[in-house]
Amino acid sequence: MDDLGYLIRGCVAGDRQAQNRLYAQFAPRLFVVCQRYASSRSEAEDVLQEGFIRIFTHIAQFKHQGSFEGWMRRIMVNCALQRYAAKSRMAPVVSMQEDMHGGLEDNQAHSSIGQKELMALVQRLPPTYRMVFNLYVFEGMKHREIAELLGISEGTSKSNLSDARSILQREVLKLDASMAQKLGSL
């Protein structure tokens, strides 16, 4: 059996060494998932820890169908969503009017900002916008699924995604302008 199967069996048996190896192997990738849903590094670390507790508690329920990493990722996303629901009681965000954001199109935001800067921008989105954006963009969910999961209407999900994209585009353009200004003063 492969190394991952061995680790899973060890975790099912409660072997601490297997749990430590599994954590070391997957924590960095899953932390990136947690960061997308959290508003801070500290909150992302909390979600990661809660997620691994659930993984180790329920690892015997993994059916060995599909990706084990995908199964763990789903647990992390659910932990983040449950934490968010407990904090905010899922109050839907009122949509801003389209003309308030200047109607930026997706292809207008071409930038040279890095992954860390983009992650910071996503983390600064209003909580419901951040959840909808992550579920749609990174988890590939449809608006109907997002609406059911978050307890909002499908139209609100679509509106929140549009607003989140507009906010991110504006912020990227601001960063690019600031970077160009700094380079121009050299």
Q: Where is average pLDDT lowest: 59-63, 143-147, 177-181?
A: 177-181
pLDDT at position 48 is 97
- Distance, in Å, from the CA atom of 90 to the CA atom of 86, rounded to the nearest integer, reads 8
What mean pLDDT value characterizes the chain? 84
For 44-85, write each residue's pLDDT tens digit.
999 999 999 999 999 999 988 889 999 999 999 999 998 887
pLDDT at 91 over 60: no
The whole-number pLDDT of residue 30 equals 97
Domains of the chain (ranges; CATH) run 3-88 (1.10.1740.10), 98-184 (1.10.10.10)
Residue 144 has pLDDT above 90, yes or no: yes
Among 70, 77, 100, 67, smallest CA distance to 150 is for: 77
Mean pLDDT within 29-49: 94
Judge whether residue 150 has pLDDT over 70: yes
Report the pLDDT value the prediction gives residue 108, as an integer from 0 to 100.
40
Confidence of residue 109 (pLDDT cuts 50, 70, 90): very low
Sign, CA dihedral 130-131-134-140, equals negative
CA angle 177/128/50 to nearest 5° reads 105
Per-residue model confidence as pLDDT tens digits over 129-138: 999 999 999 8
d(CA 176, CA 145): 34
